[in-house]
């Protein structure tokens, strides 16, 4: 038996290894540059893939209950279309209504912040009012918010995210069409990939074993986001905010962005509470949002996911930054699923498995550091590895 890290010494050709590292890094930069340039093409495909992974259990359940596969796929597509269209329709109507009141909210927020700055200056904190005026040019904001083309500008900004896809509507149609064909091809994927391997192609068994993990993560994350939106909407309604449904939808959508999404979603509701009811209500709303996110993220979500999704919190935050830089805000929504796929790919290579181990979540049990999904007690000549994202095949963690 040998402890993790106590591997037998071996000679390493650092010259050859250094050249290999340089070539690998150069290839990585080329791939990343290509992915960034091809974001217009890749983003709809990636979103369609993950939506297909999330939706396939419904089609499979219908097929097992004696629905013909075409009917099961049709029902699945109808459910997806109804949910997406319903959310977009409600959100757009609420945003149009909110835009009419935006100048009043901006002026009220300006007044409240000015009062708070004057109160702080009265307590001996000098220069706060000037600093607030310097940081927030409210006259420009008010002028911009009163223009008639605000919603048109917002639509253009959202539509430009896809680049070549001129509008969000066209982008959604592309995603739904690609997802439909992916669902049509999903049945029998295991057999097809086995045939690819037997014909001399790559082995995709690791990715297929991780598909259930990704599917479970997306399902649990959708459920947690729905609960977050529901509780946030109830909180805003209890405090008499004018647009609780809009803030509920915003909380639902932004909760898919790890670490920063829920915090960003709470800012508009807190600002409205500040304008309508004063600082104390804003503080209570902020505490309410924090309590909702803390309970769901630290108690409910870990209980539903279990220990199989062992990605380090630091890696999660870095993944949000990385995918946000690579593919903009839309990349941030899929930061964790994309990182899980990368972890699986790294875990099934001999040269870069150590990166997968470094990305794993660490935990301390009985004073010993453990890596989620990896057995640190190895026999001689064994190496760390797992067939799925965080779980050794045929063996579960206690």
- Segment 292-340, tens digit of pLDDT: 999 998 888 888 876 556 678 888 899 999 999 999 888 999 898 898 8
| Residue 341 pLDDT level (bands cut at 50, 70, 90) | confident
| Residue 223 pLDDT level (bands cut at 50, 70, 90) | very high
pLDDT for position 388? 36
The closest alpha carbon to 206, from 393, 396, 395, belongs to 393
Cβ–Cβ under 8 Å, residues 165 and 159: yes
State phi, psi for 133 to the nearest 5 degrees: -65, -35
Q: Looking at the whole model, is its pTM more than 0.75? A: yes
Mean pLDDT of 151-157: 50
Q: Which of 52-56, 134-138, 315-319 has the lowest mean pLDDT?
A: 134-138
**What burial class does residue 73 get, using C-beta atoms within 10 Å of its C-beta: 0-12 exposed, 13-18 middle, 19+ buried?**
buried
For 278-300, the pLDDT digits (tens) are: 889 999 999 999 999 999 988 88
pLDDT for position 389? 38
- Spatial separation of the C-alpha atoms in residues 310 and 241, rounded to whole Å: 39
State phi, psi for 72 to the nearest 5 degrees: -60, -45
For 165-217, the pLDDT digits (tens) are: 345 677 788 898 999 999 988 877 878 878 888 888 777 776 776 777 788 88
Instruction: State both tokens at 148.
Output: 């008639």
Cβ–Cβ under 8 Å, residues 272 and 242: yes
Q: Is 2 helix (H, G, I), strand (E, B) or coil?
A: strand
- Spatial separation of the C-alpha atoms in residues 348 and 343, rounded to whole Å: 9
User: Looking at per-residue confidence, does 101 or 126 come out higher?
Assistant: 101
Instruction: State both tokens at 26.
Output: 């150069």
Cβ–Cβ under 8 Å, residues 220 and 305: yes
Q: Which residue has the tokens 């068994």?
A: 205
For 11-21, the pLDDT digits (tens) are: 555 556 667 77
- Spatial separation of the C-alpha atoms in residues 118 and 102, rounded to whole Å: 24
User: What mean pLDDT value characterizes the chain?
Assistant: 78
pLDDT for position 226? 95
- Spatial separation of the C-alpha atoms in residues 236 and 244, rounded to whole Å: 5
Q: Is 183 helix (H, G, I), strand (E, B) or coil?
A: helix
| Residue 147 pLDDT level (bands cut at 50, 70, 90) | low
Instruction: State both tokens at 140.
Output: 């420009």
pLDDT for position 364? 54
Which value, in Å, is the radius of gyration of the alpha carbons in the chain? 25
- Spatial separation of the C-alpha atoms in residues 44 and 50, rounded to whole Å: 10
Quick check: 159 pLDDT over 70? no
Instruction: State both tokens at 217.
Output: 């993560």
Cβ–Cβ under 8 Å, residues 390 and 372: yes
The beta-strand segments (E) located in 320-374 are 362-365, 368-371
Mean pLDDT of 362-386: 52
| Residue 2 pLDDT level (bands cut at 50, 70, 90) | very low
């Amino acid at each position: 038996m040998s402890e993790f890290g106590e591997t037998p010494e071996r000679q390493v050709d650092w010259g050859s290894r250094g050249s290999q590292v340089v070539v690998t890094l150069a290839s990585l930069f080329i791939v990343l540059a290509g992915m960034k340039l091809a974001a217009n093409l890749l983003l709809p495909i990636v979103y369609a893939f993950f939506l297909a992974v999330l939706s396939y259990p419904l089609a499979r359940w219908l097929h097992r209950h004696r629905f013909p596969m075409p009917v099961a796929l049709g029902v699945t597509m109808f459910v997806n279309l109804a949910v997406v269209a319903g959310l977009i329709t409600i959100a757009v109507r609420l945003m149009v209504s909110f835009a009419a009141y935006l100048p009043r909210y901006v002026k009220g927020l300006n007044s409240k912040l000015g009062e708070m700055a004057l109160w702080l200056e009265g307590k001996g904190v000098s220069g706060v009012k000037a600093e607030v005026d310097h940081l927030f040019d409210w006259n420009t904001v008010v002028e911009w918010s009163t223009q008639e083309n605000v919603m048109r500008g917002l639509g253009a900004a959202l539509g430009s995210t896809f680049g070549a896809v001129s509008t969000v509507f066209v982008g959604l149609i592309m995603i739904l069409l690609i997802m439909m064909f992916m669902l049509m091809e999903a049945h029998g994927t295991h057999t097809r990939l086995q045939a690819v391997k037997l014909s001399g192609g790559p082995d995709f068994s690791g990715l297929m074993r991780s598909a259930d993990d990704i599917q479970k993560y997306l399902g649990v994350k959708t459920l947690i986001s729905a609960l977050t939106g529901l509780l946030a909407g109830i909180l805003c309604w209890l405090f008499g905010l004018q647009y609780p449904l809009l803030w509920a939808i915003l909380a639902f959508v932004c909760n898919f962005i790890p670490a920063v999404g829920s915090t960003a979603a709470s800012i508009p509701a807190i600002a409205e509470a500040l304008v309508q009811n004063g600082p104390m209500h804003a503080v209570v709303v902020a505490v309410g949002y924090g309590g909702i996110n803390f309970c769901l993220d630290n108690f409910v979500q870990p209980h539903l996911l279990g220990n199989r999704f062992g990605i380090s919190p630091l890696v999660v935050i870095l993944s949000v930054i990385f995918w946000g830089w690579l593919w903009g805000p839309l990349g941030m929504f899929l930061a964790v699923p994309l990182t899980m796929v990368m972890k699986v790919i790294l875990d099934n290579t001999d040269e870069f498995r150590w990166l997968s181990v470094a990305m794993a979540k660490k935990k301390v049990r009985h004073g010993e550091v453990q890596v989620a999904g990896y057995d640190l007690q190895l026999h001689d000549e064994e190496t760390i590895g797992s067939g799925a994202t965080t779980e050794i095949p045929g063996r579960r963690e206690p």
